[in-house]
Copies of this chain bind each other. A is one copy, B any other.
Amino acid sequence: MPEKIPDLIREKDLVLIYLDEKRNFLTQIQKGLKLSSDYGSIEIKDIIDKPFGYTGKTHLGHNFYCLKPSISDMMMKLRRTTTIVYPKDLGYLLLATSIQSGSRVVEVGTGSGAMTMVLSRLVAPDGKVFSYDRRPEFIENARMNLEKSKVLDGVEFRERDVSKDGFVDDNIDAVFVDVPEPWDIVVHASTVLKGGHHFVSWSPNVEQVRRTVEILSHQSFIRIKVNEILERELLVRERGTRPSERGITHTAYLVQAQKVLPD
């Protein structure tokens, strides 16, 4: 067995400083930083060179834990300018495509960059994510979010209204659409998507998916499918096990389709 090499926390690393479910902070490590909550303060310099998993104490004596952030943590804790795609939905959609290391992917609707970040991790190290948004302030915010996550290398942002002006990239392995009018993207997606490959979009309303499905079926897409993914927490406690009593009951309907070439 190889000697165990601890994974040490270094400057610039992303760490989830976790006290409890209400007090946890996705933090990029910098010497001068100090975190404060009602449970006491934490000097970030004190955790540099400690291993991931380290248990420390705030100045008020509460335990804190230095955790590796999951992909979901990074998605849910981004600085948001818009609604975010949820991990339950994105995890499902990723497997509904064929993307992998090396793929070329377009995303329409950069939003906060949550999906951009996940896609770029998946296609790393040699793939490309082309992320389109017509709003420069969204692209700027997403770029900042991704710098923090250290996954900028494979990402190209495009400030452009795809519904009007189409894409500038081609030979695409998958198209991800998160805009209020996904049907306007379909004809452009059809142009740049490789034959047989996958289009996905998501929308909160039934009318939106209905219209998207209609346009897809007129634009050489087949195997069109719509579904919802629901997440339900099960609380396992000393006094008994039961589902959570309140929670999120709807996020979006997910649309998937595959492009075929003319007969």
Name 8 A/B residue pairs within 8 A (Cβ), A-sorted. A1-B169, A15-B196, A63-B263, A65-B260, A70-B96, A100-B122, A205-B241, A207-B240
- Contacts of A113-145 to chain B: CB distance below 8 A: 118, 121-122, 124-125
Q: Is the CB of A246 within 8 A of B249?
A: yes
Assembly of this chain: how many copies?
4
Stretch at the interface among A28-36, A37-45, A47-55, A156-164: A47-55
Per the CB 8 Å criterion, the residue count for chain A at the interface is: 95
Interchain CB contact (< 8 A) of A98 among B70, B213, B249: B70
Assess A210 versus B241: contact at CB under 8 Å? Given A97-B70, A98-B70, A196-B53. yes
A168 touches B101 (CB 8 A): no
Asked if A247 contacts B244 (CB within 8 A), the reply is: no
- State A5–B101 Cα separation when bound (angstroms): 19
Most buried by B among A6, A65, A118: A65
B210:A236 contact, CB within 8 angstroms: yes
